[in-house]
A = this chain, B = another copy of it.
């Protein structure tokens, strides 16, 4: 399995490790905080990941979009729910987000395909 999704996951993991190994404490603390904020609180993890997905889409960051899509799907968010969240991002962010919508739909398809390949659904 050597598709774009898999390459992204491996690249992300490898580079995050290098960043954390660089010894800069402020960066390390930020990464810790970035994980903590999506953990279950008063809001459940599913809602939090949808918030992360919409924030990533209006800010037009493909790397962030695919990460939150993966997390959303782990939390059992359905395609219809993802489409509604992306529709909000589109209206808020405008046509300039459309290329990122295309990317989100492409990655969503890849994530679902991989999920099925793993027999996880």
Known: A63-B99, A80-B42. A88 touches B19 (CB 8 A): no
- List 6 contacting pairs A-B, 8 Å CB cutoff, sorted by A: A27-B101, A30-B95, A43-B81, A51-B51, A91-B95, A92-B95
Known: A29-B33, A36-B26. A64 touches B95 (CB 8 A): yes
Overall SS of chain A's interface: helix
- Produce 1/0 per residue, A85-121, CB < 8 A to B: 1111111111111110110011001000000000000
Chain B residues with CB below 8 A from A62, complex form = 99
Q: Count this chain's copies in the assembly.
A: 6
Contact B93 A37 (CB under 8 A): no
- Produce 1/0 per residue, A30-50, CB < 8 A to B: 100110111001110001101
Known: A50-B47, A88-B48. A59 touches B58 (CB 8 A): yes
Contact B55 A58 (CB under 8 A): yes
Chain B's nearest CB lies how many Å from the CB of A60?
7
Q: Which of B22, B64, B80 contacts A105 (CB 8 A)?
A: B22
Q: Which of B15, B55, B83, B99 contacts A92 (CB 8 A)?
A: B55
Chain B residues with CB below 8 A from A48, complex form = 84, 88
